[in-house]
Amino acid sequence: MTIKAELIKTVQKIAEKGKGILAADESSSTIKKRFDSINLASTEENRRAYRDLLLTTPGIGNYISGVIFYEETLYQKTADGTLFTKYLESQGVVPGIKVDLGLIDLALTDKEKTTQGLDGLPERLAEYKAAGARFAKWRCVYNISDVKPSAAAVRANAELLARYAAICQTQGIVPIVEPEVLINGNHTLARCETVTEDVLNKVFSSLRKHEVLLEGIILKPSMIISGDTCAKQATPQEVAEATVRVLKRTVPAAVPTINFLSGGQTPEQSTLHLDLMNKLGPLPWNLSFSYGRALQEPSLNTWQGKAANVPTAQKAFQKRMRLNSAASLGEYSESMERGAVTA
């Protein structure tokens, strides 16, 4: 099989209708914050047990087509000793891996951010692929203010995402391209729309320059939404319409699937917004989810680090998977939040 065929085959599997991606790639510092919220120590075993709870939830393959791992999790095992990657493959779920090494300040800017990790990336990708990973994720972030993001930050991060994507594709690994326009701030929906359109235009210009195969990528953008401290919050319908409008202006139809991040929204908000976007179809791409906290939060709060709570926590996870699956098909309704949903 050629590399091009391998990339397209992987993307087609992940882009299966009615399914999305579970982002279980929280860094050590992020998972510690999540565990702090339930007064649980972030030990390696507790992290393994929590990922085991999520990944062995009955019916996960009905709603999830891919899981993004943190490096530690890629090599961990279920309670019965099966590698998580092997277990997921048995459920028809594709394993993936976060490959960026976190945010740093972008030189000569006002504390704007870029992402590190390109050095040694080909060698790391070869190791991750041997361990079962078939796709990767790299995140760049953009702060919004009246003057941010700067043109320098937009250009630098677009170039970085394209270089990462090109390296992934040479290894036969599908790149998730994640340009996250942050929700933090008092910016309006209109300001977010302007910034996001510029960011996505620059990203796709750089992807073309680096000859990245668009049919072999997954786009993971943020939704166009009012800043979290904005006095006037946009309605869910306004969020959906603005997001789809910008995607139509910027994302080529060759891109097979767009899997949104939740970016600080509540589980219910991120599900509703996704559903309303799909109700605006037909659209040239699959629109689905790649959520972390928005999928996991109810199950984490139910689990509380106690083995006795695992079955109930898995039911909470089943419910969020099922509702987001429905949203990815434009078949969700807010009344479904009140019912018990099982696999």
> pLDDT tens digits, residue range 232-259?
999 999 999 999 999 999 999 999 999 9
211 is catalytic: no
Looking at the predicted structure, is the pLDDT value of residue 279 above 90?
yes
Looking at the predicted structure, is the pLDDT value of residue 342 above 80?
no
Dihedral sign from CA coordinates of 70, 74, 77, 83: positive
DSSP state of 83: B
The one catalytic residue in 137, 148, 202, 220 is 220
C-alpha span between 274 and 188 (Å, rounded): 20
DSSP state of 35: H
The model's pLDDT over 141-184, given as tens digits with 9 standing for 90+, comes to 999 999 999 999 999 999 999 999 999 999 999 999 999 999 99
How many helices (H) and strands (E) the chain has is answered by: 13, 10
The Cα angle at residue 163 between residues 160 and 166, in degrees rounded to 5? 150
Dihedral sign from CA coordinates of 213, 214, 217, 221: positive
Cα dihedral 272→273→278→280 (10° resolution): 120
Domains for the chain: give ranges and CATH numbers: 3-338 (3.20.20.70)
The model's pLDDT over 218-229, given as tens digits with 9 standing for 90+, comes to 999 999 999 999
Looking at the predicted structure, is the pLDDT value of residue 341 above 70?
no
Is the separation of the CB atoms in 225 and 269 below 8 Å? no
Looking at the predicted structure, is the pLDDT value of residue 121 above 50?
yes
> Cα 326 vs. chain centroid, distance in angstroms?
18
Residue, of 343 and 201, whose pLDDT is higher: 201
The model's pLDDT over 28-71, given as tens digits with 9 standing for 90+, comes to 889 999 999 999 999 999 999 999 999 999 999 999 999 999 99
Contacts for 146 with CB less than 8 Å, ≥ 6 apart: none
pLDDT on residue 340: 58
pLDDT on residue 338: 86
Structure tokens at 267: 């589980």
Tell me how crowded residue 194 is: count the other CB atoms within 10 A of its CB: 15
The one catalytic residue in 26, 71, 112, 178 is 178
The model's pLDDT over 73-101, given as tens digits with 9 standing for 90+, comes to 999 999 999 999 999 999 999 999 999 99
Residue 148 phi, psi dihedral angles, 5° rounding:
-110, 150
Where residue 343 falls among pLDDT bands split at 50, 70, 90? Answer: very low
Looking at the predicted structure, is the pLDDT value of residue 328 above 80?
yes
- Please name the helix (run of DSSP H) or strand (run of DSSP E) that holds residue 343, with its range, or none: none
Residue 60 phi, psi dihedral angles, 5° rounding:
-55, -35
Long-range contacts of 85-88 (CB under 8 A, 24+ apart): 85/131, 85/132, 85/133, 86/132, 87/55, 87/56, 88/55, 88/60
220 is catalytic: yes
Question: What is the widest separation between alpha-carbon atoms in the chain?
Answer: 54
pLDDT on residue 290: 98
